[in-house]
Chain A
């Protein structure tokens, strides 16, 4: 194809980078998948408990109010944290064309990080939660999460300053930004909430400033960085416009971190703080449209690759849902919208749309792309990839649609004082069942991926010369025939 005009040097450096990353990144991504499974199971238990409160009902450890935060924390830190860290290390190393520094330390860090999440979750299950949403882990678990992340930050800076090219690519900006934002976020939020620097409503604002930004300034930029890398990489075209990248990056950086107060609309906050949250969220239309145009225009003319490339499929799904869920989120912040959907399942639907429709698929795309390069093996089964893809897409859509519809109806009923509250509860029950079904579908996809992942990390297991693509046998036969025709 047109773009394989690499110098031999680039190929060699790629291989060297991948060798230095092999263990580090595999450890992070394997943890990510394990935590994703744990988080999905915890989510399923929570979900079942909401329509059948008797399920595991007498076990205090598994009461809804404990398993539900474990679900979110293992999803955000367990899956999100490790998937994003692995992505960060590999992408930055690739783009800087340097080897990953101190891999042993980073692996040790990854192990400690996992222990931290495990202990934190057990703490919450034992009732030691701090009671601050998204920061539930007891304080003593936090150093186990923070210190390993410091290693990652240092590694990232080291690679960035040792990079081969003076020019930096847009993905690198996002990755750099993540490593600056996230530590500041965690430390100031912990200081304001669990360390008690502020009380009451100011603490609530700090809490949701954090709760929103952990998605907005950690998961989102990592996801965007992955999309910016993978889409042009797989189809072999340059990104549409550097200028749009620039505009998207800085408008995202400036606006997103003001959006958090929309989680408290209607609450006892000074009007101006909520107003700023609304504007911060609405302004997100600028970066989202910019990034959307940039990705879409890069893809134009290459959509046929979606049929075969698993990486591209997940990446494009992720970046399309990024646009959609960000539109949804921006509109959701408006006061007139919040009047109905705040406090309802709509918010839950939106969160899963973003996390499972945008962030997770992009992380999956990264893994599908990088794992064969890191391990030297190929994905064993195209069918499992297909199952993974369709379960992710289908489960995510079912989840989002059911929860958002139920949320709107729930909000409308809640705002009508003549409807008894228990009628609202009864109304939501069928949708909560649908959610459990959607959760099972997502779990099936995760398991398919786990099997594939387990197989690919087996040493010297399966060496295919060709990549595992998502073609069916028939497609493959046709391809072979065509090739034969051409060669004649």
Chain B
């Protein structure tokens, strides 16, 4: 069995699976239940001045029978007084000393407010702090959460204030509601963050009821934008983690969050640079015990790969994540239809004919039976046919040797710029 123990910026946990700050970590009862189930750490529901919530606060987007493909909420931070939370954190930490408890914090962007809350939570023995600069609704209207997290200078300043007094590692949780997350990640690093985590939820409206014309969810006929999370946001989160991980100026560990539902998702985030992963929606959908499969799956994966410690996979895909201009323009793949598996539904033909490069032909064999065939020389290898194909193994995308050597866009433009330069200098 592989070693799953994790250390992110000095915060140690028996495995990399943490519950994200959200309803699953509302109370001591829940966090203790989670640790019993096997979670390695928990980021406590964000602490701050206790808020008031509305009723009817969650909504989910189901897609083609898949329940909770995306999840939307308009819930705010904790509605319980700080002392109540601190008492439960203290008791939980005492019972589970080897599990990580991280206090998520959100206060107004004032130095004395940050100093006050940091000192109070550290007194009860938390392992680290996570600054919530991400909550996209409600709190943002009051200048906190995403409103702070979208302004690099405020991220840096507030991180700095926290670091002035913090004795435990400080994780800065970033909002995805920004064009370039590396700008705020860098600001966090400049402010002294020991680690960053991402993503918080994405601005969203889950839907509109076409009969009543109400928003989904609605609060007595009125709605407000919420935060989106769950499986649908995973690709967005994974890219943001990757962009930060490959940026040399962001030289702190990352805790990856966003749509992680199983051990495979967790491995993807770790390969892309996450040291630990945090989960919210999947736990809300299926309960704490999903962590059992996550731990087993990760263990088997590492054993199968002959890897002794989970730490060895962190960031292994980062060097493979690059800019478009560095990709090989002459790398070629083409679609190959396996006619013995294909059910002749023609979805690939329609997709290619209507929306791609018109290179899948519907032919009739000598036995009179229809079959599909790719005209390889016209196939650009876009993958669309294999994406829409309903049958596993019916379409393979295979590498096709190219007589042309590898060439990136950047290399090409450099070569063109060079001849222009030569031409210009000869002209002089």
Q: Are these two chains actual partners, yes or no?
A: no
A residues sitting closer than 8 Å to B (CB atoms) are: none
Query: What is B's interface to A at a CB cutoff of 8 Å?
Result: none
